[in-house]
Amino acid sequence: MLAPIIDFFEKLIEQFSWRRLIFTGFFLLFAILCIVVFESYTGKFRLQRIDRVITLVEHANRLGPLLDTRSRANLSATLSSATADLAAFTENSTTPFRLDAKILKGLAAFAPWVLLLILLPIASPGGNKLAFVGVLLIAIPFAVIGALLPDFRFGWINYAVYPVAHCAIVLILIVSWQRRKRA
């Protein structure tokens, strides 16, 4: 069952290629993103942890007379902590995976460049490491600027207009510069 996965990683090491490494990296990032979105939406892992704590406290309380006052105080504190965590969850408070607005704005500004980084190995099968590094050198400062932008009244300015606009402007400038260079 795990043989194909092990074979893939062996090929990644033995027959190294940038395409495999980039694919693996983006696949892992996508899997992590899916887990974060799932947990943010459902809270499954958090609720399972709270349920497990409450179940363990119930089992410990059944010991009754065998517990000393310090153990009872610890159980009471644990139960109140689990209850507070459950109350925070049901009141629509943030889940542990919630990201800061600056990080989200930076990721949104970096997203068009990620698309370009994904398409780059496909467009040039021989791979162009210099172009990959160049895209990163352009993308990182714009992602930082995007993270530092103030929060506009309409969130779509931070999360859609700036990322698409700056990427389009930079790509238009690069293409026009390349055409002038050829002429």
Q: Tokens 């700036």 correspond to what residue?
A: 162
Residue where the block lists tokens 């260079």: 181
Is the confidence at residue 46, as pLDDT, over 70?
A: yes
* Span 74-101, pLDDT tens digits: 888 888 888 888 887 777 655 455 677 8
Quick check: 25 and 57 in contact, CB under 8 A? no
What are the CA-CA distances from residue 150 to residues 94, 105, 106, 169, 178 (Å)?
Answer: 22, 10, 12, 21, 33
CA dist 161 and 166 (Å) reads 8
Task: Report whether pLDDT(153) > 90.
Answer: no
pLDDT tens-digit series, residues 26-40 = 888 888 888 877 877
Mean pLDDT of the chain: 81
Confidence of residue 174 (pLDDT cuts 50, 70, 90): confident
Is residue 41 very low, low, confident or very high in pLDDT (cuts 50, 70, 90)? Answer: confident
C-alpha separations of 144 from 62, 137, 165 in Å: 55, 12, 15
**Which among 84, 102, 103 is positioned nearest to 93, based on CA atoms?**
84
Amino acid identity, residue 163? P
How many residues are listed for the chain in this entry? 183
Residue 92 pLDDT: 64
Share of the chain above pLDDT 70, in %: 90
Average pLDDT over residues 48-60: 88
**pLDDT level of residue 165 (50, 70, 90 thresholds):** very high
Q: Residue 162 and residue 42: Cα distance in Å, rounded? A: 30
